[in-house]
Amino acid sequence: MVDTVIPGVGYTFFPDWHLAPYVPVMKRLLSLDWDLFVPGHFWITDRQGFIDNLAYYDRMADMAQQAIFDSLDPHNFTEVKKYTEANLRGEFGELFRFQEYCAMNLSRYMQHYLTGGWGIEGNWQPNTTPL
């Protein structure tokens, strides 16, 4: 599988990800018996790293909604970076590539909520039954 779960924070700003169904669909893989996740790109992770990465995305979704409530402008990257440092460093600052990508991740999640996501294909109810 490519461009899925990796150790650390998201490695980009997710320009084409359907964020709403992503985590529930990826969690389906936890119903399988495996110890090592080998994505087609990037870094190998273990089961706990996989779980931790999905928890990061869940937290990012919550934090993006809070940032909107706090009137943060997702296009003011200087302020997004400060907000990320103040609100996410304590929880995720030790994750691989936090410094490089966490603020971009937050901005992208905020834009997802402010624009309504990708429309129908990005906001559908995914199949979450175990595999």
Is residue 123 in a domain?
A: no
Is residue 13 in a domain?
A: no
What confidence category does residue 115 fall into, taking pLDDT thresholds of 50, 70 and 90?
A: confident
Q: Is the confidence at residue 17, as pLDDT, over 90?
A: no
DSSP string covering 4-68: S--SSS-SS--TT--HHHHHHHHHGGGGS--SEE--SSS--EEHHHHHHHHHHHHHHHHHHHHHH
For residue 130, give the nearest of 61, 59, 27, 12 by alpha carbon: 27
**Mean pLDDT for the chain?**
86
Is residue 99 in a domain?
A: yes
Q: What integer pLDDT is reported at residue 4 of this predicted model?
A: 75
Whole-number Å distance between alpha carbons of 94 and 102: 11
Is residue 60 in a domain?
A: yes
Domains identified in the chain, total number: 1
Whole-model pTM?
0.84
Burial class of residue 53 (count of CB atoms within 10 Å of its CB; 0-12, 13-18, 19+): buried
CA distances, 15 to each of 107, 109, 117 (Å)? 11, 10, 11
Burial class of residue 36 (count of CB atoms within 10 Å of its CB; 0-12, 13-18, 19+): exposed
Domain interval for residue 113: 19-32+42-118
Is residue 110 in a domain?
A: yes
Is residue 112 in a domain?
A: yes
Is residue 7 in a domain?
A: no
Is residue 14 in a domain?
A: no
